[in-house]
Structure 1
Amino acid sequence: MANLPQQGQPLPPMDLVAEDGSSVGPDDLTGQRTVLYFYPKDDTPGCTKEACAFRDRMADYGEAGIKVYGVSLDSPESHREFREKYSLNFPLLTDEDGRAAEALGIMNEDKGYASRVTFLLSPDGNVAKVYPEVSPETHADEILSDADSI
């Protein structure tokens, strides 16, 4: 994955859409630490494990003052169904045209989805840490541990 934003750099400008139709842009990713995790597809085994791990730790994320957004190329309707099925307690954003994934250098062109990559953002909206390879089962814990130093 070439061209990943590095620590201290801003994310490229992007506008994403939440499953409720609201827009999430660069200004929404500032003001507090934010997790922006990209995943391949709603309701698949690894993606479900990762989403449920964040869901199960959401109280801890709230206490730490960290926002969490999941992002994939799935439609808002797919996101709504995924959230409801697993009682996910954080927003899922859609990047249906893949522009954000392309800009971040994480689009898997051969398979037509975004690679599983997470960006932990500092309150100024810059990248605090990039996670290019994650374990869906333990990733939510890893980020909480790392966030203490940001």
Structure 2
Amino acid sequence: MREEDIKVGDKVPDFELERQDGGFFRLYDLVGEKNIVLYFYPKDSTPGCTKQACQFRDQYEVFKEQGAEVVGISSDSVESHQKFEQSYKLPFTLLSDQGGQIRKLFGVPRKLGLLPGRVTYIIDQEGTVRYIFNSMTKPLEHVSTALEVLREINSEDKHYKKA
């Protein structure tokens, strides 16, 4: 891990990328509104990435109940994201980071120096990184771990609001 990589407790940096529908997504449009599950994945329509995306899809209502938005990022083109979204009926935003600038900004590692890594960042409503899950080989654990962390964040928030 390099010194400038995003760590738990850091404020998340703002960025803007093109969405699969051709519009633009700006991270700070969500900060202050929702918790964010920002997940970087290697490639559209590959076995692990498809399993992961479909698991996020199948749990999407639960994420919404937890006050969270799911956002996926890979280096694939907008057209590739459109096909991926349509093939698997994905209800969340996919962002095209074709130059890999956002991946670099977050410090998402490459596997074997070649494959883009699979890392999920859980960001609270204040824009603070609360948890980072890095596992290339456990795509489904990214989803279950994200939900666990969101439940913890939400129970802390309720506790603070009562106090």
| TM-score of the aligned structures, taking structure 2 as reference length | 0.84
Q: How many residues align?
A: 149
User: Max radius of gyration: which structure?
Assistant: 2
Letter in 1 for 2:98: E
Bigger proportion of residues as helix: 2
Match of 2:72 in 1: 70
Superposed displacement of residue 114, structure 1: 3.0
Give per-residue Cα distances to partners, 1:50-81, cap 9 Å, x unaligned: 00000000111111111000100000000000
Match of 2:147 in 1: 144
Superposed displacement of residue 107, structure 1: 4.8
Question: Structure 1: which 5+ residue stretches go unaligned?
Answer: none
Determine helix, strand or coil for the equivalent of 1:16. strand
Q: Contact conserved, 1:8 with 1:126, CA < 8 A, in 2?
A: yes
Match of 1:23 in 2: 24
Alpha carbons of 1:13 and 1:27: their partners in 2 closer, same or farther (altered >3 Å)? closer
Alpha carbons of 1:137 and 1:26: their partners in 2 closer, same or farther (altered >3 Å)? closer
Superposed displacement of residue 16, structure 1: 1.4
Q: d(CA) in 1 for partners of 2:142 and 2:132?
A: 12
Q: Contact conserved, 1:52 with 1:86, CA < 8 A, in 2?
A: yes
Percent of aligned positions that are identical: 37
- Give the alignment's Cα RMSD to 1 decimal: 1.7
Alpha carbons of 1:130 and 1:12: their partners in 2 closer, same or farther (altered >3 Å)? same
Q: d(CA) in 2 for partners of 1:25 and 1:117?
A: 19
Q: d(CA) in 2 for partners of 1:140 and 1:89?
A: 15
Letter in 2 for 1:101: R
Superposed displacement of residue 144, structure 1: 0.7
Superposed displacement of residue 20, structure 1: 0.9
Consecutive aligned runs of 4 or more in structure 1 exceeding 4 Å deviation: none
Superposed displacement of residue 106, structure 1: 1.3
Q: d(CA) in 1 for partners of 2:141 and 2:132?
A: 15
